Structure 1
Amino acid sequence: MAVAPARRRAFWSSPWAEESPRSPGPSADENKKKKPSSHHRLAAVMDAVADRKLPPELRGRANAVRSETDIINVVEQRIWHSMEEGHFENLPGKGKPLNLNSNPHADPAEDTLYRILSRNGCAPEWVELNKEIRGMIARWRSALRKAWANRSEDDHSTWHDDHRLLQEQIRQINDKVFRYNLIVPFGRQMFGLNWDKELDKLKQ
């Protein structure tokens, strides 16, 4: 028995028989927005590493750390708590003189070299250079004070000659400071002299 055309159309046009429209998938631009960039991933890793460096009391609160003082305060609190609990009472070597013949924090090769130099009455080059620079700075500042006191408002020729000589000496001192900073162990560097700052000290 044949189905009437009207009923056939009704059958195929029924809601449950129609194919439901598919929702459009995410576009390429949306995928890019959802996927974090390499810059953000790197920043997240750096933040995580920095957070791990903090004491446990400050982890997860990196925004609350305003300066190194906040970290130092936490460390000092730990030290005081350990002292109150007696953790420092039974340390090995308590009451005995310290052994200063070697430096456990220095490079073994450098430590051996320094011991050999010390036994032979010598010092590392940077130690001798440090003494030389400090002596030069002391003499230079003394000469600057003398030249400044002897300057005359009427006759500038003397101050002009002293000024030129002192400028040449300050260049020699700063050259030695530069060489010293290249050979000195890390953390012992020094600043050179600045002409304007030295004059400002005299004017105060």
Structure 2
Amino acid sequence: MATWMVRKLPSSLSTFSSSLITKSTPEISPPLVGHGGCRLRWASSSSSSSSSTATTSSNSSSSKREKKITDRLSAVIDAVNDRKLPPELRGQRNAVRSETDIINVVEQRIWHSMEEGQFENLPGKGKPLNLNTNPHADPAEDTLYRILSKNGCAPEWVELNKEIRSKVLEWRVALKKAWESKCNGDHNKWVECSEALKIQLRDINDKVFRYNLIVPFGRQMFGLKWEKEVARLEE
């Protein structure tokens, strides 16, 4: 009997071990599933890295495109500025330090023209200039000014200019008299006159402001400043 049990023991052990293996087989699957999850996470991370790489490449391509457009615009601007220079200085913009260089070139060309006698046989030489027309003014504006001149009238800004200049002259004379009274010790008179003069100064500056709105470009004038006028008298 004992011998039979001993002989049977290995088979029972083998059966028991096989059953253990069979039962333990499903427990191996979670690590495999987990391993597959690691693969999914790696795939997602690789896709995100590829998308970031694509974004970086698109940004670099857009920056290159913008730089190319900027370079082309700067090249066009350089070409336009180069065409503005005299023929002697074209292609040498970096050598032009200031407007003096351009003026020197113009003066040299005028001097050479005079040496060659190109100013000797000009039309109208020895005759008075015709000042009835202004070749630099707008044709419609020039015609209007001629009509006003024939009828003894002047543009509004011309009349306003005369009025402002006369009022400024009178105001400065009055200011000088008031300042002399202050220097003589009459401070009360100076205070009264200064208040009246400040009111007149505001009226003059209002006229200057209106004049600057209607006058042709380049003929504007500055208004008066109380501190500046008084400082001129103190000198």
Q: With structure 1 as the length reference, what TM-score do the two structures score?
A: 0.76
Q: Secondary structure at 1:122's aligned position in 2? A: coil
Amino acid at match of 1:186: F
**C-alpha contact (below 8 Å) 1:152/1:159 kept by paired residues:** no
Q: Could you tell me which of 191, 203, 206 is aligned with 1:175?
A: 206
Selected match of 1:127 from 158, 166, 180: 158
Counterpart in 2 of 1:196?
A: 227
Letter aligned with residue 125 of structure 2: K
Identical residues among aligned pairs (%): 70
Partner-residue secondary structure (3-state), 1:151: helix
Judged with a 3 Å threshold, the aligned counterparts in structure 2 of structure 1 residues 116 and 28 are, in CA distance, closer, same or farther, namely closer
Structure 2 unaligned runs (5+)? Answer: 1-56
Gap change, CA 1:162 and 1:115, over 3 Å in 2: same
SS in 2 for 1:185: coil
Q: Specify which structure has the bigger relative contact order, considering alpha-carbon pairs within 8 angstroms and separated by 6 or more residues.
A: 1
Q: Deviations over 1:44-101 (max 9, x none)?
A: 3223222221212222333343333332222122111111111111111111221112
Could you list the structure 1 runs, at least 4 aligned residues long, displaced by more than 4 angstroms after superposition: 152-155
Matched-pair contact (CA < 8 Å) for 2:86–2:102: yes
Among 6, 13, 29, which residue is 2:60 paired with?
29
- Greater Cα shift, 118-127 or 155-164: 155-164
1:84 aligns with 2:112: no
Q: CA RMSD in A?
A: 2.5
Which position in structure 2 is the counterpart of 1:52?
83
Counterparts of 1:27 and 1:126, CA distance in 2: 60
- Structure 1 pair 66–137 and aligned structure 2 pair: CA distance change class (3 A): farther
Distance 1:104 1:152, change over 3 A: closer
In structure 1, C-alpha distance between the alignment counterparts of 2:98 and 2:230, rounded to whole Å: 34
Contact 2:181–2:187 (CA under 8 A) maintained in structure 1: no
For 1:156-183, what per-residue CA distance to the aligned partner results, in whole angstroms no more than 9, with x for missing partners? 4332222222222121111111111111
- The CA deviation at 1:27 is 8.6
Question: How many Å separate the matches in 1 of 2:62 and 2:152?
Answer: 72
Query: 3-state SS of the aligned residue for 1:103?
Result: coil
Offset of 1:131 from its aligned partner?
A: 0.6
Quote the residue 1:142 is aligned against.
173
In structure 2, the residue matched to 1:185 is 216
State the secondary structure of the residue aligned to 1:130: helix
Which ranges in structure 1 are unaligned for 5 or more consecutive residues?
1-25
The 10-residue stretch of structure 1 (36-45 or 125-134) with the greater mean CA deviation from structure 2: 36-45
TM value normalised by structure 2: 0.67
How far off its partner does 1:151 sit?
0.9
Provide the secondary structure at the position in 2 that maps to 1:36. helix
Higher helix residue share: 2
Paired residue total: 179
Q: Which residue of 1 aligns with 2:126?
A: 95
Instruction: Choose which of 160, 164, 172 in structure 1 pairs with 2:191.
Output: 160
